Amino acid sequence: LPCTHSGTGRCFMTSQNHGFAVDADSLPNGWKVLFTNENDKTNEGIVHETRPYFSVQFHPEHTAGPTDLENLFDIFIDSVKSYKNNKEYSVDKMITEKLHFAAERPKKVLILGSGGLSIGQAGEFDYSGSQAVKAMQEEKILTVLINPNIATVQTSKGLADKVYFLPITPEYVEQVIKAERPTGVLLTFGGQTALNCGVELKKSGVFEKYNVAVLGTPIQSIINTEDRKIFAEKVSAIGEKVAPSAAVTNVEEAIAAAKQIGYPVMARAAFSLGGLGSG
């Protein structure tokens, strides 16, 4: 059950509890809507503007449901403590402050570039990497770029704050991370080269070792979408239609799979976004 908090506008997943709702238009003076059901726009909670009263139509502690709003119990305990200590407090403000989301801005971001490119191959990743650097600059975030290809726009002088002309391999990238200590890394602007490298760094625990956050698409989502077998299983799991397929690693397996599926069939490589390391 998705519920939106009126004070912050944030939506939280909750466990459905009651099949009735208080009419928001019938609330007496001093009361206001605390949460709204995003499915049918009914009232899911009320709070008093000045007195320490609030209630919700769902169970934040329900073990069978989401736990997004377990902190409502913390707010209740904090309000009791404030009352016992004769401290001035407002439950409405306490809830808003507790549910307010303040994103931690990265100070320095490592961008894995497009790497070595052949003529006409994956040039769009040079462009996307350049745009990523510019976007970071607009947000006043330091950028460290790794790209061994000097003949790219993204390695132009004055674009990134620092450029390493090194191969995009786990060994070299770890050395740069160790030296620069970035707070975040962007993997999705360097084609298959950067994605493969990011997956290996995640598996080897390098990101956790140096406390580097993967920004944007999570590693597991990259694996799920690029591995055709896993992707087909994920699509099927949510009830969507997916063409019959099989993952193979050699010609013999391909012929056997084609006979099982039935001709005509189409063969396509996995992990083939573009750039060095595709397919």
Stretch 32-51: mean pLDDT: 92
Give the start-end residues of each E strand in the chain: 2-5, 11-13, 31-37, 43-48, 54-56, 108-112, 142-146, 162-164, 184-186, 213-215
The answer to whether residue 279 scores a pLDDT higher than 60 is no
Containing domain of residue 162, as a range? Answer: 106-279
For position 274, what pLDDT does the model report? 56
Residues 89-138 have pLDDT tens digits of: 999 999 999 999 887 788 999 999 877 666 655 577 888 889 999 999 99
Domain containing residue 77: CATH number: 3.40.50.880
Of 50, 68, 99, the last residue of a domain is 99
% of the chain with per-residue pLDDT over 70: 91
Element (H, E) at 225: helix 219-226
For position 62, what pLDDT does the model report? 54
Stronger pLDDT, 59 or 215, i.e. the higher one: 215
Stronger pLDDT, 141 or 152, i.e. the higher one: 141
Of 38, 69, 99, the last residue of a domain is 99
For position 263, what pLDDT does the model report? 92
For position 277, what pLDDT does the model report? 54
Do 118 and 82 share a structural domain? Answer: no
For position 247, what pLDDT does the model report? 85
Stronger pLDDT, 125 or 214, i.e. the higher one: 214
Q: How far apart are CA 196 and CA 202, in angstroms?
A: 10
Residues recorded for the chain: 279
Stretch 13-34: mean pLDDT: 86
Residues 151-203 have pLDDT tens digits of: 888 888 889 999 999 999 999 999 999 999 999 999 998 888 889 999 999 99
Domain containing residue 191: CATH number: 3.40.50.20
Do 89 and 186 share a structural domain? Answer: no
Stretch 249-276: mean pLDDT: 83
Stretch 78-83: mean pLDDT: 93
| Total structural domains within the chain | 2
Q: How far apart are CA 102 and CA 122, in angstroms?
A: 37
The answer to whether residue 64 scores a pLDDT higher than 70 is no
Stronger pLDDT, 14 or 276, i.e. the higher one: 14
For position 228, what pLDDT does the model report? 82
The answer to whether residue 278 scores a pLDDT higher than 60 is no
Of 99, 126, 159, the last residue of a domain is 99
Do 114 and 251 share a structural domain? Answer: yes
Assessment of whether the complete model's pTM goes beyond 0.75 = no
For position 20, what pLDDT does the model report? 77
